[in-house]
Chain A
Amino acid sequence: MTDAILATTNLSRRFGGLMAVSSVAIELERGRLHAVLGPNGAGKTTLINLLSGDLRSSGGSIRYKGEDITRLSPDRRSRIGIGRSYQKTNIFPAFSAFENCRLAAQSRAPRPLAIAADALRDTPVCDAAKKALTAAGLGERGERIASALSHGEQRQLEIAMVLATAPDVLLLDEPLAGMGAEEARRMVDLLKKITAEHAILLVEHDMDAVFAVADVITVMVNGQVLESGPPAQIRASPAVRAAYLGEDAEDPEDGARSFE
């Protein structure tokens, strides 16, 4: 409990009559990757939006490093160390990959009053951007215009941008979505590598990846936490199995994604 860098209590979000997220308690610790699983509509992305501040909560609270941040704006949350990536690629399409990351890194040393300074000569910011690009596997692609990158590379850029903001907490919304097998494998390696210094919340549909990297797994159904625990416990859980089998019966395509 005391080790948690980010923790929610009774966190809820209502859309009209629908409880998209209902009384969720979740904790993130440095050095641990916390994966959130659940069928479509379980409230996983809404949970990330609540944690990042993109959405206001309808109830409950969020504590970060001991302070209540429930009402903080998304930009404030980013500045205090909560970074997020998006499920739907959310980049600056007309800028180079490097400029995408440079802007991200610049947010840590914004210097808005240095109007005579050339932003490209700010060495620490440029170095941080290059480092983030390299970490995400885009070291050679910096000069490319972001919209000209492949879909998988744009997903990598999405991660590189978050890393460039040097966050303590990473909220990753389906970083592997649409990636090829090779790219996905590299992303999993990257996730393993960065987990040591970060507290990570990972929403992901790729079960193999989740079980390969997660230290803790929380399964959500209908906006509520169904079960939370180490991967072995989740794998063995009859409740989780039932929830997913129920989903399978309706959607045969999802049946391919078993836990084994």
Chain B
Amino acid sequence: MRRTGIAWLVALAVLALFPLSGATFYVELVTKVMILAIFALSLDLLVGYTGLVSFGHAAYFGIGAYTLALLTPKYEAANLWLTLGAAIGAAGLAALVVGMFVVRAKGIYFIMVTLAFAQMFYFVFHDTKFGRGSDGISMNFKPEATIGGVTLFDLGNATHVYYLVLASLAAVFVFLHVLLRSPFGRALQGIRSNEHRMRSLGYPVYRYKLASFGIAGALAGFAGYLSAMQFGFANPELLSWHQSGNVLLMLILGGIGSLHGAVVGAFAFVALQELYSYVTTHWQLLLGATIIALVILLPGGLASVKSRFKHTLVGEPEDD
């Protein structure tokens, strides 16, 4: 546990120093990956810690993104703090409403109903005037990070965006870490392990699952907001089932039920995507094959590499 902590501090330091390299393209790419890592973390709370495999998580990511796009006026910048709060609130609220209907469903039914709701949201933004159709909404201005008349940082600057996103990722990671060791987090993990027994021990399982679904949705909305902020637009593709599938693949790559797995998975997913699309236009074929190979060879995901190695060499599995 202590060694994991040190590994994380090193990773954080590397990420913090990375923009000094001056490679703008990669700074923006890593910003995008860190946003996806937040998205993957939010889904891991559901899949890895509550046992709810959502196949519609992109809906809340998209709602976060659209909230910023819709709240940004045409001729001036929006306030970062207000729009961020609104995005997290809107995504969390949407997740709570959907959750009221879906968290009673189990297994494959849960997967299908979450997908169905996500498709509904997709078409709301795709087919209505409100969402401005398939092109989505472009923003003329980035939000302004102003408190009491002082602008803290400039979101037109890629490096500033990078650090804001890095701080957000660290905050979400720590939040989930703390949440998962709280009585609430422990109960969620109990529900994932044996929902029936949790109920017979006196836990109102439905409410716990609903709360988890709402928190995961709010955090996904946070990631979606950051994405819209970085790229200056929101379009229906952000809510598509491809996006929901991709984030699930990130978890599978990194290791379901581990916070660092979610972050590693997001980095691995984009790295593979970049690498393979550099080699061939049929990169998805290669990506698919890689994921299949990984699931066979390393069922615990990339996060389990260390303990797998130990296991093979020393013959004794490690706990973390």
Contacts and interface: CB of A to CB of B under 8 A. Distances in A.
A79 to B, nearest CB: 4
A77 to B, nearest CB: 8
A19 B205 CA distance: 30
B200 A117 contact: no
B201 A78 contact: yes
A211 interface: no
A103 B190 contact: yes
Interface string A89-112: 011111100010011101110111
Interface string A66-103: 00000001111011000010100011111100010011
A52 interface: yes
Nearest to B215: A115
Contact of A92 (B183, B197, B199): B197
Interface stretch (A7-15, A118-126, A220-228, A249-257): A118-126
A113 interface: yes
A54 interface: yes
Contacts of A108: 202
Interface in B133-190: 178-179, 181-187, 189-190
For B182, B190, B202, B204, the residue with the greatest tally of chain A CB atoms inside 10 Å of its CB is B202
B181 A119 contact: yes
Contacts of B183: 106, 110-112, 114, 117, 119, 122, 125
A165 interface: yes
Contacts of B189: 95
Contact of B178 (A76, A113, A116): A116
Contacts of B199: 73-75, 78
A75 B208 CA distance: 12
Contacts of B198: 103
A113 B179 CA distance: 10
Contacts, number: 89
Nearest to B175: A115
B49 to A, nearest CB: 13
Contacts of B202: 75-76, 78-79, 107-108, 165
B193 interface: yes
B217 to A, nearest CB: 16
For A73, A112, A113, A119, the residue with the greatest tally of chain B CB atoms inside 10 Å of its CB is A112
Given A93-B193, A106-B187, A118 B181 contact: yes
Nearest to A79: B202
**Interface class of chain B by DSSP:** helix
Nearest to B178: A116
Interface of A: 52, 54, 73-76, 78-79, 84, 86, 90-95, 99, 102-104, 106-108, 110-120, 122, 125, 161, 165
B211 interface: yes
Given A93-B193, A110-B187, A103 B201 contact: yes
Nearest to A99: B186
**Interface class of chain A by DSSP:** loop
29 contacts: A74-B200, A75-B204, A75-B205, A78-B199, A90-B194, A90-B197, A90-B200, A92-B193, A92-B194, A93-B194, A95-B193, A103-B186, A103-B190, A103-B198, A106-B186, A107-B201, A107-B203, A108-B202, A110-B183, A110-B187, A111-B184, A113-B184, A115-B182, A118-B181, A119-B182, A119-B185, A120-B181, A125-B183, A165-B201
A78 B183 CA distance: 18
Interface string B84-116: 000000000000000000000000000000000
B196 interface: yes
A117 B197 CA distance: 24
Nearest to A111: B183
Nearest to A167: B202
Given A75-B201, A90-B197, A93-B193, 10 more contacts: A75-B200, A92-B193, A95-B190, A103-B187, A107-B203, A112-B183, A115-B178, A117-B182, A118-B181, A165-B202
Interface string B299-319: 000000000000000000000
Contacts of B194: 90-93
Contacts of A92: 190, 193-194, 197
A112 B197 contact: no
A257 B204 CA distance: 41
Contact of B200 (A52, A115, A116): A52
B171 to A, nearest CB: 14
A60 to B, nearest CB: 21
A161 B181 CA distance: 20
A75 B187 CA distance: 14
A160 to B, nearest CB: 12
Contact of A104 (B181, B185, B201, B211): B201
A106 B191 CA distance: 13
B269 to A, nearest CB: 27
B6 to A, nearest CB: 21
B200 to A, nearest CB: 5
A6 to B, nearest CB: 16
Nearest to A116: B178
Given A92-B194, A110-B187, A118 B200 contact: no
